[in-house]
Amino acid sequence: MKLSSYLDPKFIFIDLEATTVENAIEIMTTKISENDEMVKKNKEKILEAVIKRERELSTAIGSGVGIPHARLDDFNDFIISVAVLKNSIPVEIAGSNKKDDMKLIVLILSDVLKNKNILKTMGAISKLCLKNPELLKKLKESKSKNEVIKLIEDSNIEILHKVIADDVLSPEIRPAILGVTLEEIAKRFILEQTSGLPVVDKDGNFLGEITERELIEYGMPKYTSLLDDLNFLTVGEPFEEYLLNEKIATIDKIYRKKGVISIDTQAPIMEICSIMVKKGVTRLYVVEKNKYLGMIKRSDIIKKILHI
């Protein structure tokens, strides 16, 4: 089913004037309630649920787009409302310290048991933002409801029944390319708040991963692996090799190839969760035709499935 088939002109708002995301949510919900009895009947409960979710974690996804949403008990409907803001609203992107200017809001209201619908819709909107920036730019500049619907129709984005890897992967995580220094990788771990990154060659072919473990291990004297008691080591010895070579040594000889698990875009969500639980891995890499496409972390499952 196409994403555009869920759109109703009555729930599309152009040049919406709002000062904050919460203000926009309130205005949109009020306007929706004027054309929908279910929303009108449950307006206060809906507002409370959507704003509560927004306060827990921003639903801004970057590229000027926000997807506030709520799952509601006994709400026998599925509503997607789109608002093009007259003026952008400064926000913080979810799960990061990055700032953004929100210009397009997609509000989703769903029954509590239609978690899959929300996830698939959010995934579809995220793909539209990442894979079609020109179309997104036109959406944010739309001057009519019909223009919004036409642009989303032209995107041909499908909302499929099954939740798969393609719905939960994080494509924005840049891989580490062969030749990058240990210092550069260490900086990325700190700035991006991650413990591991995929490694690719210059053509984007997936090779393995580099993690905090490899950096720490590189800096340890080789003989320490043979000893149980390391109390005799002097203060000057720990990580001496790392500190001397961090600016020139590269990840080429230390990145991990064994035990790194990759999956394709069509892998079902239950298969992904099963691998993570049974094998105790914290991240999987999504690869198609040997090309790296994105990463799925355990935190993505929590954030995008369990606490959507």
Specify whether 182 is located in the same domain as 155: no
pLDDT at 61: 86
154 domain-assigned: yes
275 Cβ neighbours under 8 A, 6+ residues apart: 261, 263, 281, 284
Check residue 227 and give its pLDDT: 47
Q: How confident is the model at residue 98 (pLDDT cuts 50, 70, 90)?
A: confident
What spatial distance separates the first Cα and last Cα of the chain, rounded to whole Å? 21
- Interval 13-41: pLDDT, tens: 999 999 999 999 999 999 999 999 989 99
Between 116 and 177, whose confidence is greater? 177
Q: Which pLDDT does position 257 carry in this prediction? A: 93
* 228 and 116 in a common domain: no
Co-location of 7 and 34 in the same domain: yes
Is residue 60 within 8 Å of residue 94, measured between CB atoms? Answer: yes
Contact between residue 165 and residue 267 where contact means Cβ atoms under 8 Å apart = yes
CATH number at residue 76: 3.40.930.10
Residues 7, 155 share a domain? yes
**pLDDT value of residue 255:** 96
125-145 tens-digit pLDDT: 877 777 788 989 999 999 999
Q: Is residue 280 part of a domain?
A: yes
Q: How many CA atoms lie within 13 A of 225 on its CB side?
A: 7
DSSP per-residue letters across the chain: -BGGGGEEEEEEEEEE--SSHHHHHHHHHHHHHTT-HHHHHTHHHHHHHHHHHHHHS--EEETTEE--EEEETT---EEEEEEEEEEEEEEE-TTSS-EEEEEEEEEEEEETT-HHHHHHHHHHHHHHHHH-HHHHHHHHT--SHHHHHHHHHHHT-B--SS-BHHHH-BTTSPPEETT-BHHHHHHHHHHTT-SEEEEE-TT-BEEEEEEHHHHHHHHS-GGGGG-S--TT--TTSTTHHHHHHTTT-BGGGTSB-TT--EE-TT-BHHHHHHHHHHH--SEEEEEETTEEEEEEEHHHHIIIIIT-
pLDDT at position 115: 67
Structural domains of the chain, count:
2
Same domain, 155 and 239: no
Tell me how far apart the alpha carbons of residues 75 and 294 are, in angstroms, rounded to a whole number.
34
pTM, to two decimals: 0.67
Whether residue 167 lies inside any domain: the answer is no
The string of pLDDT tens digits covering residues 154-205 is 877 776 667 788 888 888 889 999 999 999 999 999 988 899 999 999 999 9
Last residue of a domain, one of 136, 160, 184: 160
Q: For residue 69, is it within any domain? A: yes
Q: What is the pLDDT of residues 248-305, one digit of tens each?
A: 999 999 999 998 999 999 898 889 999 999 999 999 999 999 999 999 999 888 877 7
Distance, in Å, from the CA atom of 31 to the CA atom of 12, rounded to the nearest integer, reads: 10
Query: What is the mean pLDDT of the segment spanning 107-136?
Result: 80
Averaged pLDDT of the chain: 86
pLDDT score for 299: 86
Instruction: Identify whether the C-beta of residue 206 lies closer than 8 Å to the C-beta of residue 291.
Output: yes
Phi and psi angles of residue 238, each rounded to the nearest 5 degrees, phi first: -55, 130
State which residues form the domain around 69.
3-160
* Chain segment 206-259, per-residue pLDDT in tens: 999 999 999 988 877 665 554 455 455 555 555 677 778 889 999 999 999 998
- Asked if the structure places residue 170 within a domain, the reply is no
Q: Are residues 95 and 14 in the same domain?
A: yes
